[in-house]
Amino acid sequence: MLDVHLDSWLREFGPRGKERLEADSVEHLLDALEEKYPRLRFKIRDETGRLRRYVRVFVDGEDVSGTTGVETPLVGVQTIDILHSIAGG
């Protein structure tokens, strides 16, 4: 089981605290989250299924957003942190 944490902005659309889910990849984890919390749809991924530009996914503390992204395997992983960064100028 994976412990999934969302930042405070994303919690408005998904679980308020830690969520425990099973998944073998980031893609399947996001599928499960969006199925359970439909309001998360298109907040983390775009219409093509890729991570949004300002979303960061940390797998056991390692940012996979710019590398393997949704294709990242989750075998042996314990925690997932999903953060939505804020852009501005």
Domain ranges of the chain: 2-84
8-state DSSP, 50: P
| Measured distance CA(72)–CA(60) in Å, rounded | 12
Asked if residue 47 has pLDDT above 80, the reply is yes
3 or 86, which is more confident: 3
Under a CB-based contact definition with an 8 Å cutoff, are residues 7 and 20 in contact? no
Alpha-carbon span 50 to 53, nearest angstrom? 9
Residue 59 has pLDDT above 60, yes or no: yes
Could you confirm whether domain 2-84 is CATH 3.10.20.30?
Answer: yes
Q: Is the pTM of this model over 0.95?
A: no
Q: Quick one: pLDDT at residue 86?
A: 72
Average pLDDT for the chain: 94
